[in-house]
Amino acid sequence: MSKQPDFIKLWQHVSSQFRCGSDSIHGPPHWKRVEQNGLLLASRTGADVVVVRLFAVFHDSQRVNESKDDGHGVRGAEFAASLRGSLFDIPDAAFALLHDACAGHTDKQQTTDPTVGSCWDADRLDLGRAAIIPHERFMSTAFGREIARCGSVYPFLPNAQHGQSGGLNVSDQI
């Protein structure tokens, strides 16, 4: 059995090598929102939470520019492979899901796998940062479609009232 990854150390390492800069719309602030979205989705989809969290940090980590960057997802998956066994370790089946989620997150439409689907939906639910409204037809999970129909993750956050969300804020952890 593998131990829980040290996400703080992992985020620091991956963030330190990110080439697009701290103000990138594809950078660490986006990764944090994808992680939060993924944790919310996993609460209903049964997705592997460790894979979802790893996807958040790796999926855009190897971008070289802000516009069209073919292959960045595959490069992110390969970067994850290069750190597996040193900065984190997960079972082969979980790593295969992480690799598929990273490699396919821009080119593939949908999947029936709840973990990969939660990863892709988590990323797509943050398209508002690029002035794109996520549409339910591009979501893989029923919960992702429900959130997209609503237009915001906010109503689905536990204890979301008076500007406070509870339980899913990961920014203090990374």
CATH number at residue 38: 1.10.3210.10
Note whether 124 and 138 are within 8 A (CB): yes
Whether residue 169 is contained in a domain is answered as no
Domain membership flag for residue 170:
no
Question: Is residue 101 in some structural domain?
Answer: yes
Of residues 56, 84, 25, the one with CA closest to residue 168: 56
Taking only the tens place, the pLDDT of each residue in 77-109 is: 999 999 999 999 999 999 999 999 999 998 888
**C-beta atoms surrounding 100 within 10 Å:** 20
State the pLDDT at residue 2: 57
**Residue 81 domain flag:** yes
Is 162 domain-assigned?
A: no
Please report whether residue 147 resides in a domain: yes
Residue 161's DSSP bridge partners are 164
Average pLDDT across the chain, whole number: 89
Q: How many domains does the chain have?
A: 1
Is residue 56 situated within a structural domain? Answer: yes
The confidence band for 9, taking pLDDT boundaries of 50, 70 and 90, is very high
Contacts of 155 (CB under 8 A, 6+ apart): none
Tell me the residue range of the domain where 80 lies. 27-156
Nearest to 56 by CA among 147, 126, 129, 110: 126
Whole-prediction pTM: 0.89
Is pLDDT at 19 greater than 60 in this prediction?
yes
Residue 91: inside a domain: yes
